[in-house]
Amino acid sequence: MYSKELGINFFGIESNKKRQFNRIEILKKNINNFKIFLVIAGTNTSQIPGISAAGINPKSRRITALADAEFLLRGASKDHKYKLPLLNAGVTPALISHVCSKLINVHPVIVPLGIGVKPNFNHLVVEDKDLGPSNCLTSGKSMPKERVLNLYERGLAIGNSSKQPILISESVPGGTTTAQAVMEAFGLQVSNLVGSSLYRAPRELRRKVVQKGIMNANLKTDFDSFDVVASVGDPFQAFSMGLLIGARSANQPVILSGGSQMLAVIMLVLEFLGAKNKDDFIEDVFIATTGWLVKDNSLIDLLNLINEKYDVNLLGLASPLNFKSSIYKELKDYEIGHVKEGVGAGGISILAFLNGFKNHEIVSLCQQNLEKMKRLGQISLEKDC
């Protein structure tokens, strides 16, 4: 019913119209009550040349997450501190998330992890900024396990205390590679399914990186989720595991807004929980993403693999947002497969659609903000990177 009316596509399990209707009703009932977390995290995996499109080179990728978070909060502004990295194509998905969060009048909470500096905007302090980014996963030693457990516990406490539903989003350059490493550490062969911000996913490069990391990790037979994150994961995964488990323990619905990185978090949680209460846990968990990310069915196949492996009924929703009518190349690039998702663009735009806003309204506001950010010099020139 709603899927046809609003253009929201469901994917994952074969679900009937009644279940789809019930899922949408949960979201609509809480539409103005979601607390949005943007977790920005640093990992030295992002410094591998060619691994990510979140910045034109490794140096620019060090500030991508900070610039995304600042833009999400403030939009195009002459007072910006961080320039958005120049991309080979497209523009940051923070543009979409900023526009849609303003439309639904929510104020995101930024959680910086391993960024190495104190951001100049309001943020939630979870760990010492001096801890810095996680190591490159090829080392097999991404983080000390103590750090992983501390991040998990902090996320768990915040989730447990939640009095409202939450949406988890991310900006983690190199994060699809750590997501693939986590899933393959648990035995899923996903090298041809994990997406990328790049037009053509660097599958062979990523396969070699992940293979080296898992080999160097030398995980024992009785390893758990925390061991995997410590070996080949990133700070976002550790914190989001706790946040998700805590929020569901508080009986709050949770939207995981993204693609393979969110599925990696789900997988880590399901491995940690085992068979205990997994159906109740999953019931009010949603994977929400953009329509661009599900175009080639890879994310759908990945979700189905997880559903099959853990015998759960996780449901995905894809936003109807499109830029076919846009006059700007940066936005039209999304239509041909560039950037695709990030900074919660899929989930936050779905909330905007469910709140009654139309595609042309979102596109128009994205264009206005794009014009302004270009006029204000908020996007780096290549020589700045």
pLDDT higher than 60, residue 3: no
Percent above pLDDT 70 for the chain: 91
In this prediction, residue 52 carries a pLDDT of 62
CB atoms within 10 A of CB 325: 12
pLDDT higher than 80, residue 196: no
Q: Residue 242 and residue 329: Cα distance in Å, rounded? A: 39
DSSP calls for 50-69 = TS-SSSSSHHHHTTHHHHHH
pLDDT top residue among 184 and 384? 184
pLDDT higher than 60, residue 54: no
| Mean pLDDT, residues 48-63 | 62
Q: Residue 167 and residue 38: Cα distance in Å, rounded? A: 8
CB 11 within 8 A of CB 300: yes
Task: Look up residue 237 and give its two tokens.
Answer: 């995964």
CB 290 within 8 A of CB 319: yes
| Mean pLDDT, residues 314-329 | 95
User: pLDDT by residue (tens digit) across 264-292?
Assistant: 999 999 999 987 778 889 989 999 999 99
pLDDT higher than 90, residue 97: yes
Largest CA distance in the chain: 56
Handedness of CA 183, 188, 190, 194 (dihedral sign): negative
Contacts of 382 (CB under 8 A, 6+ apart): 56, 86
Q: What is the DSSP letter of 134?
A: B
Q: Residue 104 and residue 348: Cα distance in Å, rounded? A: 9
pLDDT higher than 90, residue 384: no
| Mean pLDDT, residues 307-321 | 93
pLDDT higher than 60, residue 385: no
In this prediction, residue 1 carries a pLDDT of 37
**Judging by beta carbons within 10 Å of its beta carbon (0-12, 13-18, 19+), is residue 149 exposed, middle or buried?**
middle
pLDDT higher than 60, residue 139: yes
Among 101-110, 201-210, 363-372, where is mean pLDDT lowest?
A: 201-210
Residue 198's pLDDT band, with cuts at 50, 70 and 90, is low
pLDDT higher than 80, residue 326: yes
Residue 2's pLDDT band, with cuts at 50, 70 and 90, is very low
| Mean pLDDT, residues 65-94 | 90
| Mean pLDDT, residues 35-63 | 76
Claim: this prediction has a pTM higher than 0.85: yes
Residue 235 CA, chain-centre distance (Å), reads 13
Where does 114-144 have alpha helices with state H? none
Mean pLDDT score of the chain: 90
Where does the chain have alpha helices with state H? 2-6, 17-29, 58-61, 64-74, 94-103, 145-160, 175-185, 203-217, 225-232, 235-249, 260-273, 278-283, 298-310, 329-335, 345-354, 359-375
